[in-house]
Structures are given as C-alpha cells and as structure tokens.
Structure 1
Amino acid sequence: MKLFRLALIAFLSPIAAQAQHLLTLEDAIQQGITKQYSIQISRQRERIAANENSLGNAGFLPTITGTANKNYTISGIDQSFFGGLRPPLVQSGVNSNSGNLGMAMAWTLYDGKGMFVLRDRYKELQNLGAKQTESSIENLIALISSTYYDIIRQNLRVNNFKKGLEISNDRLKLAKDRFEVGQGSKVDYYSAQVDYNEDKALLIAQEQSYTNTKIGFNALLVKDFKADFQIVNTIDLLPKLKMSELKMSALSQNPTLIGAILSKKISDLDTKNLQSQQKPQIDLVAGYALSNVANGAGFGVEKGSSDVFNYGLRATINIFDGYNQKRRIQNAKINAEIAALQVEDLKNALLSALEKTYVTYENSMNLIQLETENYTIAKQNIDIAFDRFKVGIATSYELREVQRNAVAAETRLIEAKYAAKTAEIELIRLSGNLL
C-alpha cells in the first residue's frame, strides 16, 4: 500500500506557503481531533474498556473480605435459688461487651476455563473500544476534509460570480454611456441594470453561503464561530486511485468492519463462558476469626477470647436449574450467528459503497476534463463577445448569454472538482487509510 501512504502524505500536506494566517488541512485535522467532543468521549470510553481488562475482573485473583463488630449490652439480674443454696442475686446496670474480628478468602482454582475466556473477552472489548475510537477519528477527518474543500468550493464560486459581476458592470457602464450620448436605447440600459442587480444578488447569496460554511467549519473544530482564517484557493486531486487496491484495503483495514469482526469474537467468547459454567468450580477457601467477651455479671466467665483458623477446598456444580443455563447457551450461539451475518452484511454494504463512490469518482474525473475544455472556450467567447458588443456588432442579449455560459461553465468545473475530491476522500475513508 505504498501508493496510499504517498497519497496520504500529499493529502495532508500544506498546499502553499506557510503563512501564519493560512489554515492548512493538516492543521485543521489536528485541531479537530484534539478538541472535538465526540473524540474525547470515545477516548474516555476506551479508557474504561482498558480498565475493565484486568486479571482481577476476569477472576484470576482471590477475593478477601474482612469483618469486624463490637456489641455492648446493659442488663439487669434478679435471681433466687431453691433451698437457699446461695443468696439471691440482684444486679442492675450490668455492662457487658463482645467483639468479633475475621477474614475470609476464596480463590477460584478451576472454573471450566471461564477465567481465561473472560480474560480474552475483556481484551477483545478493549480492542473494540480502540477500533471504535479509530472509526470516530476517521469519520471526523473525512468530515473536516470535505468541509475544508467545501469552503474552497464556496470561495471559488464567490470569485466566479465576482468576475461575472465585473462583466455586467462594464456592460452597464457602456450601455449607460451610449444611452446618454444617444447611441444606445433605454431598453438596453435598463436591461443591463437589471442583469447587474441580478448578478449582484447572486454574489451576495453566495458570499452568505461561504460565510455560513466557515462558521460551521469553526464549530467542527470547536473554535470561535466568527474566527477568520485563510486557505489556499485550489482543489488538488491525488493520483488516480485503483479500485482493486481500495477493495483489498477496505476488507483488511476498515475500522467499522474490523469492529464487527471483534464483536463476532466477543459473541463466541460469551458462548464459551456460559459453557464453562456447566463444569464444576473448585475454590480454595480460608478464614480466620477472633472473638472476645467481657461479662459484667457476677457469675460465669468474666473475660475470654478465642480464635479460629480454617481452610479447605470447595467444589460447586450446577446440577439442575430448570434448563435455564441450556437456554442461555442456545441464545448465545444464536447471537454469535447474528454477529457473523452482520459481518457479512457489513462487507456487502462496504463493497457496494465503494463501487458507487468509485463510479461517482470516475464520472467526476471525466467531467473535470470536459468542463475544463468548456470553460476555456467560454472564456474566449467572453472576450470576443465583449469586443463585438463594444463596436456594436453583438447585442446585449448575445453578450448576456455568453456571460451566463462562462459563469455556468466555471461553476460546473468547480462542482466537478469538488465532487471528485469528496468522492476521493470517501474512498480513502472506506478503505481505512485516513489514519
């Protein structure tokens, strides 16, 4: 994929001199990736997935719990004995207390390899989180790039309408001078004025569209909406992309497709995890307990303490649970089958999107060549028609038609270049090569 690497270097490189006020596409992408909230959210979710991927969460490490309690009692005693064996016992406000302190440990030694399955599952979830972040970044890069070139397109259209307005202005001055000296009609003068106003309205509307596009671009970069910037006013295309390389790269590198494949792996691991629960679980258990008592009554044990340490093995197995475990395993297998179908469906959609976008890309490239020829001819016709109009050979209507054709030809050329560029960006995104 050496061609893609070289193409991407050109794609992200500054296109002109490194002036401070000049915003290059590379700078815009860096600002967007750094500041965009959606990317920050994706990265935070990726951190959560990384935290979840631990030995303790998978069940490899023992669990140790500690308990402690202390109880106080205040009691009264009123006792008498048969046969006068001993004097009556009468006490009140007797203070007693007791306490317990203990620790218990359980360490799973075997659970049908469920721990290993969970470890692999958390690892794949972390990989999935990384791919989802990568997909979000690629989508953002594609959006920033398309909007960047849309600004260029809008500015080129502004310049195109300005040139048309200049022609209308020259025609208006000439028609006015002819009318004032009696060589031209009032109809030609008014027609020139109407056409000039029409072109000026078109320019105002286009300038508004250009400004709104820049505001949206600043919002995309999380900047001040009214922050001004300059960009190079050209739409450059990469060397011709090859469909065979795009398909090969898309099937191996597209982050959305890779994410679907990872989801399929996770579904398979879910099935294995449920199957492991059908096997016995063996735990090493141990515990230690310490208790003490202080008796304020005048009989029995006054003070005492005891401690106990125990250890052993514990085995548990699910013998029958109403077929619920069997049902869960069946559903997990069905989910794995669904995930496999989703992978194939995504492959089909991906290749279809590539084909459609490539058709648009090729047609736009062909249109560029055609409209370049048309625009060259239209510019020559403008010069010829205006010279003929100045000497009175051509009519205002003829000059207006030639002017419209020239503006329309350049507009079509701008649109063809923009369409080719957006299709080019989308092809690179689908092939997984924006990063």
Structure 2
Amino acid sequence: MKKIYFLLLVSLFVKSSFAQNSESLDLEKAIQLGLENNLDVKIAVENINLRQGEERIGLGSFLPIVDAIYTRNYSTEDVTQKFVNDPEPRQIDDAKSRSENFTMAAIYGFRPEAFVVLKRLGLLTEVSQLEAKIAVENTVAGISTAYYRLVLELQRYEVLKKTLELSQARLDIAQAQYELGGAGKRDYLTAEVDYNSDLSLLKTQAQIIQAARINLNELMALDPSREFSVSDTIRIGEMLRIGDLEESAFMENKQWLVTQRQENVAFLQMKELQVSRLPALNLNMNYVNNTS
C-alpha cells in the first residue's frame, strides 16, 4: 500500500512540475521565438550591414576629392603718408581695406586595382548574406531537433509510467501469494527489485525531460525555467529521394556556397596585388581667385 501511495505521489509531482503554469508551444512558434531572440542570427544580420557599408565605401574610390576654401578679410586703419615732394604729411583716418580669397582644388586618382577591390567587397557581402542564412538554418534545425527530442522523451516517460504500473501490479500479486503461502519469498523479492528498477528509470526519465526543456529554452533564448506544454503530434512530410537531395546539396547548401565565394575572394586578393603593380593616374586641378 505504501508503494502505491509513493507511485501516485511521484506521478503527481512529475505532472505538476511539467504542466503547472505552462503555455502551449508548437514547432512553428518555437522557431519564431528562436529567430527573434537568437543572438547568432542578430550578429549575422549586423555583419551584412557592415559588409554593405564597406562596399559603399569602396565605390567612393572612383570619385574625385574636392577641397574648397573661401576667406574674406576686412580691416580699418589710420594711415599717415609723407611724400618726398610734399613736406606736409597726409593723414587718412579710418582707412578701410578688403580682401577675398577663393581656392578650389580637385584631385582624381585612378587606381587599376579599384575594380578588383570593388568586386571583392561585393563577394564578401554575398558571403555575409550566406552566413546569415546558415545561422537561420542552424537555429531552425537546432530548435526542431530539441523540440522533437522533448516530444520523444515525454512519450518515453508515458511508456515507463505504464511499465511501472505493471511492475506495481506484479509486485502486489507476488506479495499476496507470498503472504498466503502460494509462492516463495524469492518471487516476491524479484518483483520488488523489478519495481525499484522501473521506478529508478522513471525518475531518471523525469530528469532527462527537464534537461530537454532547458535545452529548448536556451535555443529560443528564453528563461531556462520557463515551462511549455508541447504537442506530441509529429507530421510526416512527403517522401524524400536521394537524387533530389544530392542535387539540392550542391545547389542550395549554404556552407558549400560560402566556401566557393571565399575561394573567389582569395583569387581576387591575389589579382589585386598583381594589378597594384600597374601605374596609377592622378589628375589635379586648382582654381585660385584673389580680390583686394
């Protein structure tokens, strides 16, 4: 009787710890929360913005540099003039003077490697975009795996609970037969050992479920102690064919595309060094206007 009470107590504790204050969570919602909160995805998006900014800076190498300076000066002086042929000095009070200076300088430097640099920056932007897609795909894959792992562990818990109920019934029968003298003590002790073993498996499974919940919450960037009730329905999609998978792996695999782009970037870096040996062309233009 004590064992039955203990079994009910364990079952109620596990159910309350898994279902209390829990909200419903399906796979689509889990993926949405993960994409909104995952820091790897946010960092990947910011890297795209940085690469695009570098590409815009690279376009500036084709534009000339123009500097313009404009100055304007005023002065008021008291002037005393004395000439050789005129002994009387001339006194001029509040003599005003004005000067203006306008200078404009334009420099245009053409470097042959600028085209290669611009193309390399464009490839780096593509690499950052592919890396962002990889971060999204890894997040979706990780959350999907963790979600269905939790579903599997919950189903396994129900199986172990049924097994423990059967072990409890077997133990009760063995105990009754032993007390009535219909069976030996060995059968009763064997049933008790099996019951304790199944009870230990049930407790271990409860810890596995809790760890699976924490792992799912971490992937969604939520509080590890947050509780969700997940749906145990797994939808099976259309049948997969190995030929289509191989073709998709070469055409759509982002990691392979990133490797391909990085190889092209390395080739352009080498070409950039080669082109930098060519002569550069600089054009200077100055315009100066002084007015006194």
Give the TM bin, normalised by the shorter chain.
0.7 to 0.9
1:45 aligned to 2:44? no
Of 22, 31, 34, 1:32 maps to 34
Q: 1:178-234, CA deviations, whole angstroms, 9 ceiling, x for partnerless residues?
A: 223332333222222221111101110011011111111101101111111112224
Contact 2:164 2:195 in 1 (8 A): yes
> Residues 101, 191 of structure 1: CA spacing in aligned structure 2 closer, same or farther, 3 A cutoff?
farther
Whose RCO is larger (CA < 8 A, sep 6+)?
2
User: For residue 43 of structure 2, what is the amino acid of its counterpart?
Assistant: I
1:111 aligned to 2:111? yes
> Residues 66, 162 of structure 1: CA spacing in aligned structure 2 closer, same or farther, 3 A cutoff?
farther
Correspondence list, 1:81-100, <5 A: none
Of 46, 59, 64, 1:62 maps to 64
Shift of 1:235: 4.2
Correspondence list, 1:384-395, <5 A: none
Shift of 1:275: 2.9
> Residues 167, 101 of structure 1: CA spacing in aligned structure 2 closer, same or farther, 3 A cutoff?
farther
SS in 2 for 1:184: coil
State the partner residue of 1:187: 186
Correspondence list, 1:70-81, <5 A: none
Q: How many residues align?
A: 244
Counterparts of 2:58 and 2:261, CA distance in 1:
23
User: For residue 22 of structure 1, what is the amino acid of its counterpart?
Assistant: S
1:154 aligned to 2:153? yes
- Structure 1: gaps of 5 or more residues: 1-19, 70-99, 291-305, 308-435
Contact 2:58 2:118 in 1 (8 A): no
CA RMSD of aligned residues (A): 2.8
State the partner residue of 1:73: none
Correspondence list, 1:266-285, <5 A: 266-285=265-284
TM-score by length of 2: 0.75
Counterparts of 2:102 and 2:166, CA distance in 1:
96
Counterparts of 1:157 and 1:247, CA distance in 2:
34
Shift of 1:238: 3.1
State the partner residue of 1:122: 121
Shift of 1:165: 0.3
> Residues 267, 186 of structure 1: CA spacing in aligned structure 2 closer, same or farther, 3 A cutoff?
same
State the partner residue of 1:87: none
Contact 1:154 1:210 in 2 (8 A): yes
Shift of 1:289: 6.3
Counterparts of 2:58 and 2:107, CA distance in 1:
13
Shift of 1:240: 2.9
Q: 1:58-111, CA deviations, whole angstroms, 9 ceiling, x for partnerless residues?
A: 511122356899xxxxxxxxxxxxxxxxxxxxxxxxxxxxxx986543223x43
Contact 1:23 1:229 in 2 (8 A): yes
> Residues 58, 272 of structure 1: CA spacing in aligned structure 2 closer, same or farther, 3 A cutoff?
farther
State the partner residue of 2:83: none
Counterparts of 1:264 and 1:64, CA distance in 2:
37
User: For residue 254 of structure 2, what is the amino acid of its counterpart?
Assistant: P
Contact 2:58 2:121 in 1 (8 A): no
1:144 aligned to 2:154? no
Counterparts of 1:102 and 1:48, CA distance in 2:
36
Counterparts of 1:271 and 1:223, CA distance in 2:
46
State the partner residue of 2:15: none
- Structure 2: gaps of 5 or more residues: 1-21, 72-100
The farther-off stretch of 228-237 and 40-49 is: 228-237
